[in-house]
Structure 1
Amino acid sequence: MATISSVTLRGATLMLSRSNRLCPLHSAPISAGQRPSIFQRGMSVAATTPSINLHYLGTISRTFPLAFPSTNRRFFCVSSEAEAPVADNETSSSVSNTDSTLASPSSPSNDPVKDAAGTLDIRVGRIIKAWRHPEADTLYVEEVDLGEPEPRTICSGLVKYIALDTLQDLKVVVLANLKPRNMRGVKSNGMLLAASDASHENVELLSPPEGSIIGERIWFSLEEDKENQVSAASPNQIQKKKIWESVQPHLRTDSSCVAALGSHLMRTSAGLVVSKSLQNATIA
């Protein structure tokens, strides 16, 4: 059996070369004896032995058996922060550095969904003006200020749920790193995030708190985690890796109408993002 004995990459993903193609191994922490699943991607290169020492999240992993023979198997460490493999006699010093590694903003958490959500560029915006789409009865067209040199044009299917006059000068939450889409002749560059009940009969736009700053990036977690945000992924990465599709099912409002990713609340520097009245509602 081929084994991975410990981890040498900060925030690394492993990839196995099988039949002339790369199969990614799961980069989340795994317990001793578990098989890594093969669903996540990574980027970049490193090692070629059937057994690799890896340092993951500042802790030394135990031996993980993989369900294939070691013969002619090649493992690739994929991370832009790859470090040289650590010899066994360096293990103790690696363990002693656990706290500093975990404190690094670039270190992944134990939650791959939260890590993926951290690459979304969700921002506070303000609708400058809105009007009915001339070619689509269910769509509004909004001109939205995101703190950029020019406002963005965004199309939203809100006609059945929200009165047009309530959108004017409204602060909203915008997913800003989607690829632009042509919606019945209008190029839409972003998406307004809204909560909806199970029947999808009631829909409310998410509301940033009073005093929130136009263009500020929104995050999920504790107030002090604002400074630990990772860089947003490019629109191409969001589409190619289906990041939004992997995160969206985990977005809901809680019993207090606060928007959250699982137990991680959606925040701005001025406070929490909420729905006006929808509890335990889906967010999209």
Structure 2
Amino acid sequence: MDSTGNLFHPSLAAALMKLDPEDGEQIMEYFKTHALLTREKALLQTSVREQKKLLVENAKLKKDIEQLRGQLQEKQRRRTAKALLAPAPPPPTRGPAPATPVGHPASPAGATAAAPTNPPPPSSSSDDRRETQGRRRRGERKARPTSDSLSLGAEPQVDVSRLDLRVGRILSVRRHPLAETMSIQEVDMGENAPRTVISKLGGKTHLEQLQGVLAVLLCNVKASKMRGVVSQARLLCCSSSSGGCVELLAPPTGSAPGDRVTFLNYPGDPDRELQAKQRVWELLQPDLRVDCRGVANYKGCGFEVKGKGLCRAPSLTNCVIR
């Protein structure tokens, strides 16, 4: 390649044309094709090396995350054991009992004995002290469980690990009898029975094309009735910015019903059921996107079925997941 960016210098082309006017142009084309193939091979080798480097770095990060997770769990166990084994505070001591009046010494012989005086009634200060001590004891009983609960039951963090995302196969699909824009799917989730799912794909998708397709579903949403039919999960879809094009998020090739979708940077077990008052899905959904390569991700971390690959949008890029 010369300084102008051409594969061969013009003088070389002119010399070839002069030596062989008939085949010179074909020879030049052969040389150009060979040079382009050599350049593509070099780029491919560079890409493979970068991919291997990224795989090594990802494995190291995963190992570090597992170590940190183990340390965190060990600290939590120690904190729990310490809180359970801590001795209860001793009960506050009561004030001294009022002294019993002591009798007067005996009068001398022949003298008239003085009448014994009655013991003084308990003072109001003693009553106030006992009442204050009682209030303090009651206050300590209330405060102790509160501190323990704060140390042992911290508010769970809101990240994508709380979502139970799994692969499912659509067995059948039909329009909702009471809503033209909704459809009803029966989905095999690898469980004893298929789940019924209501989605808003009726007006924008050819429903007959969905039968037998693998999809990604959110499985720990609370079952809810939609126009008289109970929906037991949520289909994840990719939607263009205008909303005119909607596609089902596709799991990687080789996935099977029941496979879980996980995130390398966000390990952990999902909630048994998402609580509506915590609004976990609403908080996470803005960060669920499809990038410029068509890969589904949460804050840059891909939707992954372990050992099988990443989830993708069939054709859309740079769009939201809902």
Structure exhibiting the larger radius of gyration computed from Cα positions: 2
Aligned partner of 1:252 in structure 2 is 289
Question: How do 1:101-250 residues align onto structure 2 when only pairs under 5 Å count?
Answer: 113=158, 116-221=159-264, 229-235=267-273, 237-250=274-287
Q: Which has the higher contact order (CA 8 A, sep 6+)?
A: 1
Q: 1:205 to 1:77 in 2, by over 3 A?
A: same
Shift, 1:221, TM fit = 2.4
Query: Does the CA contact (< 8 Å) of 2:180 and 2:203 recur in 1?
Result: no
**Residues 8, 201 of structure 1: alpha-carbon distance in 2 compared, 3 angstrom cutoff:** closer
- Which has the larger share of helix? 2
Deviation at 1:8, TM superposition (A): 11
> SS of the residue aligned with 1:220?
coil
- Any idea what the Cα deviations from partners look like across 1:54-108, whole Å, max 9, x if unmatched? xxxxxxxxxxxxxxxxxx9x8553436x9xxxxxxxxxxxxxxxxxxxxxxxxx9
Aligned partner of residue 285 in structure 2, secondary structure: helix
CA drift of 1:263 comes to 1.0
Larger strand proportion, structure 1 or 2? 1
* CA positional deviation for 1:178: 0.2
- From the superposition, tell whether residues 263 and 155 of structure 1 become closer, same or farther in structure 2 (CA, over 3 Å): same
Question: Would the aligned equivalents of 2:175 and 2:184 in 1 still touch at CA under 8 Å?
Answer: yes
Corresponding residue of 1:280? 318
Counterpart Cα distance in 2 of 1:120 and 1:11: 23
| Structure 2 gap ranges (5+) | 1-71, 78-82, 85-142
Paired positions, count: 185
The within-5 A match list for 1:75-94 is 77-79=150-152
Cα separation, partners in 2 of 1:78 and 1:185, compared to 1, 3 Å = farther
Q: Distance in 1 between matches of 2:251 and 2:76?
A: 31
- Does the 8 Å CA contact 1:252/1:260 hold for their aligned counterparts? yes
Q: Which amino acid aligns with 2:314?
A: K
Give the structure-2-normalised TM-score: 0.52
Give the corresponding residue for 2:36.
Answer: none
Contact 1:177 1:238 in 2 (8 A): no
Runs (5+) with no aligned partner, structure 1: 1-6, 13-45, 48-71, 83-107
